[in-house]
Amino acid sequence: MVRITPMASSTIRPSSASSLFRLCNTTNTCAASLVSLNPSSRRFPYLASAVPQSHFFGLRASSKIWRGESRSITAGNMAQASTAASLLEWVKKDKRRMLHVVYRVGDLDRTIKFYTECLGMKLLRKRDIPEERYTNAFLGYGPEDSHFVIELTYNYGVDSYDIGTGFGHFGIAVEDVAKTVELIKAKGGKVTREPGPVKGGSTVIAFIEDPDGYKFELLERGPTPEPLCQVMLRVGDLDRSINFYEKAFGMELLRKRDNPEYKYTIAMMGYGPEDKNVVLELTYNYGVTEYDKGNAYAQIAIGTDDVYRTAEAIKLFGGKVTREPGPLPGISTKITACLDPDGWKTVFVDNIDFLKELE
C-alpha cells in the first residue's frame, strides 16, 4: 500500500495501493508535500540527543567508576537510560503484525493469473490510477485485516525490473509440494529446484519462479492460518540485523541455523511461531557484506499502535527514519517509514487507521 517509484526510469510515475501510503520513493527521498512536522521531539524530549549505548544496556562504564577513575554517570544520563529501557519494553508489548509486502511486476494480469491458478491465491482487490499511470493488485490467502498479503505494482509501460542480488525469495506453505509443482509445470511455470527434503533436514521443499523472476520456496506443511509464510532478505551482518529487529521492530529470534558446508547462516525473525505466522528470514553469506537491491522489491508494511514511538525506537536502535511519523496529507492515517542497517525499507502503519482504510 505504499507509493513507490522504480529506479529504472525517471519517467515512471510512483505507484500506490491506496491513499494510505503515499510516501517515499525507492531512493528514500520524500516529496516535500508529504513531509509533516515531527512531534516526536515534543513527545520524547529525552531522545533529542544521542546517548552512548553503554548508558542503555549494562552501563559498561561502571567498572571504571569502581576503579576510582574520574568518570561519573550524571543524573541526566541515568534518566535517559531509564526512558530508553521503557521504550524497549514498549516495543515488545506493541501490537505489531506484518501486513503486506510490496514489489513491482511487468505484466499485472499475467502475474495475477499465475498466482491465482498456480499458487492458489485470491485476488483481494485491484485499483487503477490512470492519472499517475500505475495499477495495484492485492493477493493472498485471506482478508487483509487478518492475513499477510502481496501488493503488486504495475507502472504503465514498464515491463521488467532488476531484482538484484539482495532479495532472496518468498515462502509459501503447501500441504503437497510435489502436487503443487506438477500444477505449476502444467501451467508453464519454471521449477528451479525439484521437490525433495531440505539439505540436512526432513522438510520437503521446492523452488519455483514467477513470470518476473521472483523466487518462491514451497514448504510442505500441514494446514496453517498463514500460507504466505516467509520473506527472505540477505544481510551483511547477521548479529547486527538480529539486534536491530529485536529491539527496534520488537521481533523475536525464532531460530538461527549455521550451515558451514555451504557458507551461510540464517535467522528466522517474527511475531509468532513459524507454523502460524509470516516470518522474516535473514540470510548471511560468509564474507559478503553488501548486496545490489535492484529496483523490483520495495518494502514490507507492519502495523503498530503508535508510529511516533516506533520512529523513536528505530532511531535509537540503529535504523534510519526516511519518513517522519505523522498523518498523511489529506487523510488521518498515520505512518512512518525507515531503513534497517542494510538499507531494507519498512513502513509502519497505525493499526486503527489501517482498519479504517480497509473499511
* Residue boundaries of the structural domains of the chain: 19-28+95-358
DSSP β-ladder status, 228-234 and 190-197: unpaired
Residue 310 is placed in which grid cell? Answer: 516506533
For domain 19-28+95-358, the CATH class is: alpha beta
pLDDT score of 289 more than 80:
yes
Q: Which residues pair with 281 in a beta bridge?
A: 232, 268
Q: How confident is the model at residue 176 (pLDDT cuts 50, 70, 90)?
A: very high
Instruction: Quick: pLDDT tens for 203-250.
Output: 999 999 999 999 999 999 999 999 999 999 999 999 999 999 999 999
Contacts of 94 (CB under 8 A, 6+ apart): 250, 304, 305, 306, 309, 310
DSSP β-ladder status, 149-155 and 97-104: parallel
At 271 the pLDDT is 98
The DSSP 8-state label assigned to residue 45 in this structure reads G
User: What SS3 class is residue 67?
Assistant: coil
pLDDT score of 194 more than 60:
yes
Residue 337 is placed in which grid cell? Answer: 517509514
Q: What is the pTM of this model?
A: 0.79
What is the H or E stretch that residue 82 is in? helix 75-93
Was 217 annotated as part of a binding site?
yes
Query: Among 132, 137, 178, which Cα is nearest to 156's?
Result: 132
Was 151 annotated as part of a binding site?
yes
Mean pLDDT across the chain, nearest whole number?
A: 83
d(CA 234, CA 253): 16
Q: How confident is the model at residue 28 (pLDDT cuts 50, 70, 90)?
A: very low
Q: What percent of the chain has pLDDT over 90?
A: 71
Burial status of residue 51 (CB atoms within 10 A of its CB: 0-12, 13-18, 19 or more): middle
Catalytic positions, written as ranges: 217
Torsion of CA 92, 93, 99, 100, to 10 degrees: -10
Q: How confident is the model at residue 75 (pLDDT cuts 50, 70, 90)?
A: low
CB neighbourhood size of 9 (10 A): 11
d(CA 309, CA 85): 13
Report the length, in residues, of the chain: 359
- List strands edge to edge, sheet with 279-285: 190-197, 204-209, 215-220, 167-174, 228-234, 279-285, 264-270, 252-259
Hunting for cell 540503529 — which residue is that?
A: 318
pLDDT score of 101 more than 50:
yes
Q: Pick the more confident residue, 262 or 27.
A: 262
Contact between 132 and 14 (Cβ < 8 Å) = yes
Q: Pick the more confident residue, 71 or 60.
A: 71
pLDDT score of 61 more than 50:
no
- List strands edge to edge, sheet with 334-339: 122-129, 134-140, 149-155, 97-104, 297-304, 345-350, 334-339, 320-327
